[in-house]
C-alpha cells in the first residue's frame, strides 16, 4: 500500500466517523465541532486528489466562516435539548419516508452510472498538463468561459443576503435614525443657531 493510499483511507475513515458523530451527538456544540473536523478531512482528501483550490475554499469558507458562525450561534442560543427531543418521534415516519425515497434515488443513479472512456486518464492527472496550477486553471475557466454565470451567481447571493437582512430587520419606534435626505436639504439658516449665553449660565 502506498503512502497516498494510506492517507486516503485514514482521512476517509475519520471523515465518515465525524459525519456520523455530527448527527448522533447529543450536544449541538459537539456536533458543530465534529462538522469542522469533517471539513478538515474532506479538504485533506481534495489535496490528495490534486484540487488544492477546492481544499482551500473548504477550509476558508466553510470552516472559517460558516462552521464557526454555527458554533457561535449555537453557543449563544442556550438551546434546551430535552425540549427539542420531546416532539421528535411524531416526525419519525415522515423522516423515514423521505430517507427511503432518497435511498431509492441514489440506488437508481448509481445503477445507471456510466463511466466515460476518458475518465481514467483524467483521474490519473487531475492537474493541468500545460504548466498551470490547479488554482490558475480554474480561475481562467471561471473568468472566461463561465464569467456570466459566475456574475449571475454572485448577484443571486447578493439579493438573498439583502432579502435576509430586510426580513429580519425590526425598527424600534422610539430610536433616532439618520435621514440622509434631511441632512442634505439643510441650509445655514436651519443648521446654525445663535445663542446669547450669559456669564455663569449654560444653554
With respect to residue 12, please indicate whether it lies within any of the assigned structural domains.
yes
Structural domain count, the chain: 2
How far does CA 2 lie from the centroid of its chain?
34
Q: What is the mean pLDDT of the chain?
A: 80
- What does the pLDDT look like over 38-50, one tens digit per residue? 989 999 998 888 7
Show the cell assigned to 190.
436651519
- Confidence at 17, pLDDT banded by 50, 70, 90: very high
Residue ranges making up the domain that contains 146? 130-170
In-domain check, residue 152: yes
Collapsing DSSP to helix, strand or coil, 30 comes out as: helix
Least confident of 46-50, 130-134, 184-188: 130-134
Query: Which of 3-35 are b and which e, b meaning 16 or more Cβ less than 10 Å from the residue's Cβ?
Result: eeeeebeebeebbeebbebbeeeeebeebbbbb
155 lies in some domain? yes
End-to-end CA distance of the chain: 86
Half-sphere exposure of residue 107: CA atoms within 13 angstroms, side-chain side: 6
Reply yes or no on whether the pLDDT at 100 is more than 90: yes
Cell of 130: 500545460
Same domain for 72 and 139, yes or no, is no
0.85 surpassed by pTM: no
* 99 lies in some domain: no
pLDDT, residue 173, reads 76
Amino acid at each position: 500500500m502506498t503512502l497516498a493510499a494510506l492517507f486516503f483511507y485514514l482521512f476517509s475513515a475519520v471523515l465518515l466517523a465525524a459525519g456520523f458523530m455530527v448527527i448522533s451527538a447529543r450536544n449541538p456544540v459537539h456536533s458543530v465541532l465534529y462538522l469542522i473536523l469533517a471539513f478538515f478531512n474532506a479538504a485533506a482528501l481534495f489535496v490528495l486528489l490534486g484540487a488544492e483550490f477546492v481544499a482551500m475554499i473548504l477550509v476558508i469558507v466553510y470552516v472559517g466562516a460558516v462552521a464557526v458562525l454555527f458554533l457561535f450561534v449555537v453557543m449563544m442560543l442556550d438551546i434546551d435539548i430535552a425540549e427539542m427531543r420531546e416532539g421528535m418521534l411524531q416526525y419519525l415516519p415522515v423522516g423515514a419516508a423521505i430517507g427511503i425515497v432518497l435511498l431509492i434515488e441514489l440506488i437508481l443513479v448509481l445503477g445507471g452510472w456510466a463511466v466515460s472512456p476518458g475518465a481514467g486518464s483524467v483521474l490519473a492527472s487531475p492537474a493541468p498538463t500545460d504548466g498551470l496550477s490547479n488554482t490558475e486553471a480554474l480561475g481562467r475557466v471561471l473568468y472566461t468561459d463561465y464569467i456570466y454565470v459566475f456574475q449571475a451567481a454572485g448577484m443571486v447571493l447578493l439579493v438573498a443576503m439583502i432579502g435576509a437582512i430586510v426580513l429580519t430587520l425590526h425598527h424600534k419606534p422610539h430610536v433616532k435614525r439618520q435621514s440622509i435626505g434631511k441632512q442634505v436639504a439643510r441650509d445655514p439658516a436651519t443648521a446654525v443657531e445663535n445663542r446669547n449665553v450669559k456669564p455663569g449660565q449654560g444653554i
